[in-house]
Chains A and B, each alone.
Chain A
Amino acid sequence: MPEWLLGHSPWAWRNGELAFARGWPLWLLVALLLVALALVAASLFWPRRAAGAQPLAFWRRAVLGVLQLLFFAILLVALWRPVLNVERIRDRENVVAVLMDDSGSMNALDDGAAATRREQAAQALGNGILPRIAASSELRLFAFSDRAAAVEDLAALPGGAPQTRIGEALRSVMQMASSVPLAAVVLVSDGAETGNTLSEADLAQLAASGVPVHTVGVGPEQFANDLELEQLELPRTAIAGETLRALLSIRHQRQGSTRVRVYDGSQLVATQEVKLNPEGGLTTARIDIPAGGPGLRDLRVQVDTAQDEARAANNTRRALVEVSDRRRSILYVEGEPRWEYKFIRRAAEEDRTLRLTSVVRATPNRYYRQGVGSAQELATGFPVTQAELFAFDAVVIGSLEAAALSTEQHQWLKEFVDRRGGSLLLLAGRDGLGDGGWGRVPVAQVLPAALPGGAVSYGARTSRVRPTSYGLESAIGHFDADPARNATAWQELPPLADIQTLGALKPGAIVLLEAQSGQRADPLLVTQRFGRGAAWMLATATTWRWQMRLPLADQRHEQFWQRLLHQLAAPAPAQVSLQATRGIHEDDAALVLEAEVLGEDFRPHDGVQLAVTAVAGDGTSVPAVVESSGAGDGRHEVRLQSAAAGLYRVELTASRDGKELARTLAHVRREDGVQEHFAAWQHRALLERVARETGGRYWKLDGLAQLPEAIRYSRAGMVERQTLDLWNIPLVFLLLASLKAGEWLLRRRWRRL
């Protein structure tokens, strides 16, 4: 509604409070309105005998009555003197802070634009907006990236700062409010926050200061022709010879396909065509990368630049993978000769990164061992010391009754999962899971299901295997990168011949595979985290039929077991470990690594000294500080005082009484000027949220005309209260005149003047 009609600024209406200034009681107004209603009704509906005149229809009299009543109501309300109580900043006594984003993303020259985002913003603000604000308040100008700094001229900023930390910048400016009357903050930015400084708590803290933040959005809200490698997930460590699976998220608006290339240094190690989601948005893809030999893989994953793509810097991400020659060590204990045992062994033998040590109880008294290191190892069918058990990364137990192990061995198994951080997989069988009494021993606590007791739970049932949504997210659920072909690959697997019912799943259990028989679906492969490790259960022992029923060239049985065994063994921590919190530190000078030093029993030991050496790529030493967590858990933090971007090699040596216990190595890379190239579109939702939470408003760059007026009606800083009369605004007189004119016109039309 036009301001001339309302009599006052729209911002006064938006921020003000309605009240009656006369002070007369409101009940009297209501009573008089009722009297007016009665009089109008009596005048229109009281029976009159007028010679020759046909009375008006009821609805026509009702319309006239409403018009008359509204007329009297407006008059009566006006008598009570309605007013708008507003607060507005006092002229020349307040400060308004204007923060201009000076980060790298504001240097962008968007599609078709002749000026950078920052130049466009400076121009829009300088074009009468800032002078109008300055007419009533003192202006203070700031530029910000990771923090705010006062500047003289927004049009002369250097630009290109490596970070955008909006929350930090706002907090530092808000601190002014304690010393000067800060009426409002104007934040000019694309909202491409890189520092995670605008959490719920951060916003609540900003809102608590009471100063409204008006956000001015700069830049396009999406890029039409851009491909961005938004996320890259890769394991941080690998075993020589294995295959790494990278998970990519590509953000795009275009359709078609693109090619992803992976380089180790300058050598191309993997490439894959990725079909983009036809609806745009986000496309996820998996790409398998050979880990190669032992050493550091300095990987660069690159999405091909499209022909008309303006932003190529966001097509590449890097990752470091430490590849060791240590094989994943798995113990498999089988209680009776079974085909499953043979075919699991054969699948594991195909994978050079796995070391499977197995023992099968061939007769009641004789164990047949394979892959053992000595004549004594597993001679009695199971490790005889905790250290012997803890030397493995994962343990698989087949159809072996729980009573075959001693109480002590059961306790070790539980601690193997809980404290050592290994994985335990129980297989189905006559003496497996519930039927083997595994629900009544200490390790039952770590299992993902409450195993049933009593009735026999293992039996024959033909069923097909189907991965769940969790299974599809896991490497185990992927026979093929294409979802449709992958679904077919699972559907066409030969059926299983047996199943074991697992009992009620625990709250933390995750079902990865189901066995489907008719309409019935039973959990087949289930896992749950427990302590530092995980427990798994596979409710079948006939996956060997996949190998025998499928053609020789088909690798599904081998893939399934190799991936499952890797999934079991990969997370098991080493006794002494060193790992960077992030392999690549983008625009972050604080390089932090986490070290853990434990004994053979995977408990922290006293008197262990740690020494760290850090070397930059050019061979210069870098100071490093080691700090214990203080919790006595063997954990330490290693901080590098890195001066520049580059690759750093960090070596940790643990010793006790002058004797070296272990030595381990990790790498970390610092990269600068990366983050500002990613997610560099205007994050309008974030800017709107900041404005909404603080009482300000989001503004488009081409719609700033009302900004100075909005700031005048701010409730922060030095404010004054004003009482604005409403009875005399043009709208009231226009309404009164319109009501009477309407009544007159109707009466004339109905011939009742």
Chain B
Amino acid sequence: MRLRIRRLRQQLGLALAASLVLVLPASVIGGAPGAGLAPPEPEFRFMRLAYGDNSQGGFGRFGGGRRGSWATDAPEAEQHFLQGVDRLTRLKVSHEFHAVQPLDEALFDAPFLYAVEVGRWYLDDEEAARLREYLLRGGFLMVDDFHGSQQWEGFMESMRRVFPDRDVVEIPDNHEVFHVLYDLDQKVQIPGVGALMSGRTYERDGVEPYWRGVFDDKGRLMVAINFNMDLGDAWEHADDPRYPQPLTALAYRFGINYVLYAMSH
């Protein structure tokens, strides 16, 4: 009998504690949204472009899965980079992995797009038109990790389909994208980890790094092209003591500047 009374007391105590938690104002216990509202979505999604690959027997199409060229360095690269964004800016970011195919309607829900290994990408006419529409509506594309003249041609073949009437030009040093937060006057080649381990900073014949871009009619940068460098590797290996910290820091700074530029221009 005593045991039963003690149990009853324990149950009542737990119920009372639970009811207290329920009646406390939401602000006191951490801020649940108001009636009928789900928590707001994070403002920024790091969205990978899941393109079709051109290296499989000519120009193969996207075959699904996450092991195509588009998924290089994923998800560690963005995981590390977004932690830096979180720490260094006031931007509210999503830490989940996001990828989208060019013809997916969800493309238009993420105005920032990251495409890696674009020397191997392939966009057909429909996909190119979709990407062109995305960029002209206000989307921003950052391309990374492609090296040498052969990969440049691979990149440009699809890029010319996206913008047949726009030139790819060098981004001038005084452009806002290099100064929106950090003043990136130091144009240092950021190498891939493979090249770095072999004692070089470049791959193939891509000795010189280039920061190129495609601009819209108002002079706004729509496509930021990091040619002959690999920011993704610098982010991915930010926790690898063998990868030089100054290069990682610089890669973070470039990335953050791209994101802030994309969100303000």
Contact = CB atoms under 8 A, between A and B. Distances in A.
Given A459-B40, A460-B39, A337 B34 contact: no
B139 interface: yes
A346 B180 CA distance: 17
B26 A337 contact: no
Contacts of A544: 111, 138
A677 interface: no
Nearest to A346: B138
A700 interface: no
Contact of B263 (A337, A364, A430): A337
B108 A549 contact: yes
Chain A interface size, under 10 / 10 to 19 / 20 to 34 / 35 or more: 35 or more
A592 B259 CA distance: 56
Contact of A342 (B91, B133, B265): B265
Contact of A363 (B34, B38, B89): B89
Interface string B89-131: 1111000000000000000110100000000000000000000
B108 A337 contact: no
B26 A454 contact: yes
A1 interface: no
B137 A547 contact: yes
Interface string A315-348: 0000000000000000000011111011101100
Contacts of B218: 349
Q: Which has the most chain B C-beta neighbours within 10 Å: A452, A544, A552?
A: A552
A641 B36 CA distance: 65
B194 interface: no
Given A455-B25, A498-B41, A345 B264 contact: yes
B33 A342 contact: no
B264 A548 contact: no
A337 B36 contact: no
Interface string A351-368: 000000000111110101
Contact of A337 (B35, B40, B264): B264
B260 A337 contact: yes
A521 interface: no
Nearest to A522: B36
Interface in B18-39: 25-27, 31-39
A273 B40 CA distance: 46
Contacts of B89: 337, 362-363
B264 A342 contact: yes
A456 B260 contact: no
Secondary structure dominating the interface of A = mixed
B251 interface: no
Given A430-B92, A461-B36, A497-B41, A456 B26 contact: yes
B88 interface: yes
Nearest to B181: A362
Contacts of B137: 547-548, 550, 552
A387 to B, nearest CB: 27
B90 A361 contact: yes
Interface in B239-265: 259-260, 262-265
Contact of A457 (B25, B33, B181): B33
A342 B39 CA distance: 23
B133 A551 contact: yes
A501 B37 contact: yes
A455 B26 contact: yes
Contacts of B180: 362, 368
Contacts of A552: 133, 136-137
25 contacts: A336-B90, A337-B43, A341-B264, A342-B263, A342-B265, A360-B264, A362-B180, A362-B260, A363-B88, A454-B27, A456-B33, A457-B33, A458-B34, A458-B40, A459-B38, A460-B37, A460-B39, A460-B41, A544-B111, A544-B138, A547-B138, A548-B111, A548-B137, A548-B138, A552-B137
Interface of A: 335-339, 341-343, 345-346, 349, 360-364, 366, 368, 370, 430, 452-461, 497-499, 501, 517, 520, 544-545, 547-552
Nearest 5 A/B pairs, CB to CB:
A459-B37, A459-B33, A455-B26, A336-B90, A460-B38
